[in-house]
Structures are given as structure tokens and as C-alpha cells.
A = this chain, B = another copy of it.
Amino acid sequence: MENIALSPLTGSELNMIWIIWGIALVAIAYGFILMGEITRKDSGTAKMIEINNAIMEGANAYLARQFKTVALLVVVLALVLFFTGTSADPAVNLGRAIAFVLGATASALTGFMGMRMAVKGNVRVAAASLKGKVEALTIAFRTGAIAGMFTIGLGLLGATTIFLIYKENLSSVLVGFGFGGCLLAMFMRVGGGIYTKAADVGADLVGKVEKNIPEDDPRNAATIADNVGDNVGDCAGMAADIFESYEVTLVASMILGATVFGNMGVIFPLLLRAVGVITSIIGTYFVRSKSETEPAMKPINRGFMVSSILSIIGFAVLTVMYTQGSIFNIMSTDAKWANVLAANPDANVVLAWKLFAITTIGILLSFAISSMTEYFTSTETKPVQEIAKATLTGPATTILSGTAEGMESSVWAILSIAVAIASSIIVFAINPIGDAVLVVEQTLYGVSLLGLGMLTVTGIIVAEDTYGPISDNAQGVGEMAKLPEKARKVLDELDAVGNSTKAITKGFAIATAVIAAVSLFGSYKEITGMQYIDISNPMVLIGLLIGGAVPFLFSSLLIRAVGRAAFLVVNEVRRQFKEIKGIMSGKQKPEYGKVVDICTTAAIKELVGPGLIALLMPVIVGFLFKAEGLGGYLAGVIVVGQLLAVYLSNSGGAWDNAKKFIEQGNYGGKGSEAHKAAVIGDTVGDPFKDTAGPALNPLIKVMNLVAILIAPLIIKNPGYGPGVIAVVVIGLAIIGTALFFSKRSDDSGIADEVAKAVSGKGKKK
């Protein structure tokens, strides 16, 4: 893959790149401006600042330990990448290793900044709620926009810089960059996901269910850990995750673009991204309530719509520039198009509009996915209300109903992706330009542009997503600091809206994962030089079966990890209630720090097993079942990963909102039997929607990129020599050990102790 024939950059091409580079810097600068603006805002009473400091401390401590743990792995992998590099030029291999480290760092940094600003934002939103909704919403959304700006700025900057430096070795180095981003995102998703849900489930099981005290009640020792979890899971994890999606869609389309159209094929995706940066910045200005009475969701949707429409206009402008040929010309720089152009002088114009069409379809797809997610998870629509109705016949029917709705939502999501991919086929099959092979290449490039189109307004998407935990935590801070009723009402509304925005952005992230994976799949075939990957070949089928199993294994491990960690939290909170007598009366403060420590240790510990599996499985499958088998494996991971991710996320979201629907006073409202059943549904959904589901998204891409990275090694080592056998055996041994420890921690003794204690209690009843 190192030898893509890119011609030297022309003057106008170079100019374009510098412009894109400048726009990336603008995004980062704008991020800093927003940061200053937010930091200057009032951060509330001493009580609020105290709570906030505790959250900040816990979040910092967690991220520091996580980065330390992952850093070791990053260093090891950087060395592996360097020494296994297949380029003849060591500078390229070194570049790939460095790009990997940079990608990982950028991803970590995005997550860290997102989290840090969110924590700062929480308390300021809570303070602003005293002044009213307009101010509170603006602060909450702008804080989220900081993370958004860093995501798009760093992402675009990195990719552009790599292109400037490595040119024809672009692919190899870009894959390193993308891999670094994905890997970190996966770890932040997995670790953060386990942390946040262990704290949340643990807090709920003792607080809401056993002690009957409200959520975020300061008497619950797990409260601070719960809030820390929201920040390290939803903010840091999600920001890193979207950064990675943003990056990988870009990487995939640049690699495919280089093959199909040469320089301009690479620059075009960068230009699209630059348009998105500008429209995202403009969009953030439209997120401002017109009055205190306007529902909070409206301005957010306005910002999203404005950005999207402006982006489509921007794309159209780009296209007109193509068709005029006045500035640049897709086919001009690549020799293989000379014949096509000679036969059909209009080809360039037609192609430009095709690219426009497919990118716009990407934006439409993002609307489709977000409407669908909203339909399946909003309190206003039938699925959630069906689940709420099912609570009347108890927890079992609640679970069954949510399972059915979640599974169905997954079907529609995958169908809309299938339709989008089909549209790429149709767009490029009508009046085809060039021979059949060229058309297939264009189609794959088109698919990668779909992903790019979907993530055009990433700045807004990240802002929306980060807004979720900010408003959630602001509400928590408000509750703990006992703010007046009016302010609390403002915060409640912002929080409810945050649940929707979080669910919607999760839908995006997952859909882009599939689109990105499909385009990476195209790159995989290019790199291995295979003519086809025949699923009826038993080797490929075996790969497909194993690949399909991995998302199930991964989900199973993560759900179990949350359960185990939550068990420890439950135990600790129970202990504190028992041993610190003054907690319930409010006379004594619980030891929040202990729960924070437990969550941190548990999350870091649980992170290792699944991470190693994600890294090593493609290696083992690749060496055992060769490039064909690994191709089947990737297909299996994509299809099952997508189905499971949407199912887990949406069923979880739906259960959460079914509970909210009942809390609005339906079917008996809070405290009724129906509500109890809904709480159980919500608790089941917690690790579904916030741990396992979203972790599958980076998992799919990590595996894809590992496959692309090791493909040249697999091709170089056919058969089953001692080296191949050694890799497989060592890989299996590591995975076996990881699985063993992952399952063994059940027997820490604590679980059994608690079991015994409770079982005694059960008998006495």
C-alpha cells in the first residue's frame, strides 16, 4: 500500500491544503476562545465549588491512572509498528509509529479536554440556572462545543499534516494515525463505560432500591463516583470515540481517494471536512434560546439544522468550482483518467455532481439515523410507551418488551445503512464513468464519502453529546447543593433534553462505524491484493463465524465487568450506611473517596482483558486462516457488531425513558409497582447502553485497522511455519490468560461474603 502513485502537489493543490490547515487551526483557536468565555462565568456557591472539586479530583485521578496504564501499551505497540513496518524506507515506518502515538495522544487529549471542560461547565450551568434557562442552556451547549472544536480541529490538523509530510506514503502513515485514535477511544470507552455504570448501578441498587432515597442524594456514598463516571464515561469516552470516527472516516476516504483519483481524491475529503468546520462554528451560534419558554431541544435542533443546510450549500459551492474547472479538477492529476476524459469530456462535471450527491446522502442518512433513534428512545413515541405499558405486568414483561423494541430498532438502523450503501452503488452505476473496475472503486470511495457526509457537522454532534452529561451533572450539583425550586426546574428540563441528545449522537457514532468499516474493508482488499473474498470458501466462512462471535464475547465480558464492579460498590455503600451511623440523618458525611477508588481500580483492571482480545483476535485469525479468513472475520465483526451495538444502545435508552415516562405521572407514577419494574428495566439497560453498546463502535474499527496493519505480514508469511505458529500460540495464550483473569475475579471472596450475608437475610424474612 506504500506505493500509491500520487503526483507532486501542484501550486493550487498546495494552496488548498494550507487553507484547510488554517481552518483546522481556527477551530482550535475558537475552542480556546470558548474555553476562556466559560471559565470566566460564575461558578456558584462555596458548597457547589466543593462538590465540583470532588468530582474534578476523582475524574483527574481516574484519567491519570488510565492514561498511565494505556501509555505502556501504546509504547509497546509503537515499537511493534515500527519493527513490523513493511516499507523499504525506514522513515515511513518511523512515521507510522509516530503517527500512531500522535493519533493516540490526540484522542486522549480530546477526551481529557472534553471531560475537564464538562466538569468546569457543570457547576457553572448550575449557577446560571439561577438566572434562567437562556443563560444556562447557552453555557451548557458552549461548554460542549469546546470538546467539539478540539475534535474537529485536531482531527483535521493531524490528517492534513500527515498528507503534507508523507504524500505517496500517506496510506501507511494515516492508518497508524487512525489506529492510535481508535485504540485510545476504545480504552476510554471500555474503561469509562465500566466506571460510570459500576458507580451508577451500585448507587441505584442501594440508594433507590434499598434505602429509598432519591438519585444524587448526598447521603449516598456512591454519588460523587456516579458523577465522576458521567464525566469519564460520557464526556471523555464519547469525545474520544467521535474523534476516532471523525478520523477514521477521513482516513478511509483519503486512502481510497488516493487510489481512485490521486491527489484530488485525497484533498476532496479534507475540503469537505473544512466546510464542516466552518458550518459547525456558525451552527454553535444558533444554539441560543429565543426566550425562557422555548423548549430547550429547539435551539439545539436549530443549530444542527443550520449547520447541515449550510454544509450542503458549501458542498454545492465546492462542486460548482469543480465543474467550472476554474480552481481544480479531480481527474486532471491522475494519468489513468486520460482515456476516460478523452472519450467523455463531461466526465469531470458528471463525477463532481455524483460526489456531491453521495455526500449529501450522507447528511440525509444522519437525519434518518437520528430520527430513528429518537423514535425508538423518546418518551413521546410508541416504542417507549409500549415498554412503559409492559411495566404494568411486572419487570419480566418490561425486559421482554424492551428487548423486542431494541432488536427491531437495530433492524431499521441496518436497513437504512444498507439503503445508503445501495445509493452509492446506484449513483455510480447510472451513466458509469470509466470501466467496471473504476466504477467499483468509485462506489467504494462513495461509501467512504457517505461516512464523511454523516460526520460533517461533528463539531455540533460532539457539543450535543457533551451537553448530555454536563446537564446531567449540573442537575446533580443542583440537587446536592439544594438550589431553589425554580433553578431546579430549569436544570431538570436541560437534563431531560440531554438524554435525547446523548442517544441521538450514539446512533450516529455507531452508524458511522459501519460505514467506516465498510470503506476500510475496501482498503483491506486493496492492500492484500486479493481479487475477491469468497464467503463460500470454508476458510472465509470460519472467519465470518469467529468474527461474528467477537462482539458477543466483548459484550459478555463488559456486562460481567460492570456487574462485578457494581457489586463492589454496593458492598461498600452498604458498609458505610451500616458503619457510619449518622449518614441517613445527614449528620455525618459518607466517605465518597473510597467509592471513587473502588471504581477506578475496578475499571482499570477490567479494561485489560477486552482490550487485548480486540488487539489480538485479528492477528490470530489472520495467521491461522490467512488473508481470506481475516476478510470473513472483518465482515462478521461488522454485521454482528452493528446489530448488537444498536440493539444494546436503543433498548437501554428506551428503558431509561420508559422510566421517565412513568415518572411523568403515567401508570401510577413514581413509587408505583410499575415504576419499580421500570427502574429494573433501566438498571438492566445501563451497562447495555453506556458500556457494552458504545464500546462496540471503536472495537469494530480497531479490529479493522489491526487487520489492515498486519495484512502485509500475513501475505509475507503464507503457510504455517514456526514463526506463524509462534504468533498464534502466544496470541492464544495471552487471550486465554486475559479471559481467565476476567472470569476469575468473581472469586475475590467479597462476592461470596456478601452473598452469604444477604442470603442469611433472605432466610430470616
Contact = CB atoms under 8 A, between A and B. Distances in A.
A668 B396 contact: no
A642 interface: yes
A549 B396 contact: no
A549 to B, nearest CB: 4
A563 B401 contact: yes
Contact of A545 (B533, B639, B751, B761): B639
A401 B763 contact: no
A597 B323 CA distance: 69
Nearest to A530: B536
A752 to B, nearest CB: 8
A599 interface: no
Given A421-B538, A746-B386, A559 B404 contact: yes
Contacts of A525: 536
A394 interface: yes
A563 B400 contact: yes
Contacts of A31: none
A542 interface: yes
B392 A424 contact: no
Contacts of A521: 535-536, 541
A185 interface: no
A386 B209 CA distance: 21
B392 A538 contact: no
A205 B673 CA distance: 14
A755 B404 contact: no
A518 B541 contact: yes
B636 A639 contact: yes
A192 to B, nearest CB: 19
A684 interface: yes
B759 A396 contact: no
Interface string A627-671: 000011001100110110001000000000000000000111100
The secondary-structure label for the interface of chain A is: helix
A643 B390 contact: no
A689 interface: no
A377 to B, nearest CB: 16
A534 B536 contact: no
A394 B206 CA distance: 11
A534 B535 CA distance: 6
A408 B553 contact: yes
A734 interface: no
Report how many copies the assembly holds. Answer: 2
B548 A639 contact: yes
A631 B536 contact: yes
Nearest to A407: B556
Interface in A543-571: 544-550, 552-553, 555-557, 559-560, 562-563, 566-567, 570
Interface string A404-446: 1101101100110110011011000000000000001001100
B762 A553 contact: no
A393 interface: yes
B535 A411 contact: no
Contacts of A522: 536
Given A415-B546, A421-B542, A518-B541, A535 B631 contact: yes
B425 A538 contact: yes
Contact of A542 (B393, B418, B524, B535): B418
Interface string A488-530: 0000000000000000000000000010001001101100000
A524 to B, nearest CB: 8
Interface in A162-207: 201, 205
B635 A755 contact: no
Contact of A552 (B411, B563, B632, B751): B411
A401 B557 CA distance: 10
Contact of A403 (B559, B636, B642, B762): B559
Given A534-B532, A762-B667, A563 B397 contact: yes
A540 interface: yes
Contact of A647 (B397, B440, B552, B666): B552
B684 A400 contact: yes
Interface string A696-737: 000000000000000000000000000000000000000000
A724 to B, nearest CB: 15
Contacts of A201: 396
Q: Which 8 A-B pairs have the closest CB atoms?
A: A668-B762, A396-B683, A532-B534, A407-B556, A672-B762, A548-B639, A404-B560, A408-B556
19 contacts: A205-B394, A205-B396, A389-B755, A392-B759, A400-B684, A407-B559, A408-B552, A411-B550, A414-B549, A415-B545, A418-B542, A440-B537, A514-B545, A518-B538, A535-B631, A666-B759, A667-B755, A667-B762, A669-B763
Given A403-B559, A545-B639, A673-B762, 4 more contacts: A201-B396, A205-B394, A532-B534, A548-B643
Interface of A: 201, 205, 209, 386, 389-390, 392-397, 399-401, 403-405, 407-408, 410-411, 414-415, 417-418, 421-422, 424-425, 440, 443-444, 447, 514, 518, 521-522, 524-525, 532-542, 544-550, 552-553, 555-557, 559-560, 562-563, 566-567, 570, 631-632, 635-636, 639-640, 642-643, 647, 666-669, 672-674, 680, 683-684, 687, 746, 751, 754-755, 758-759, 761-763, 765
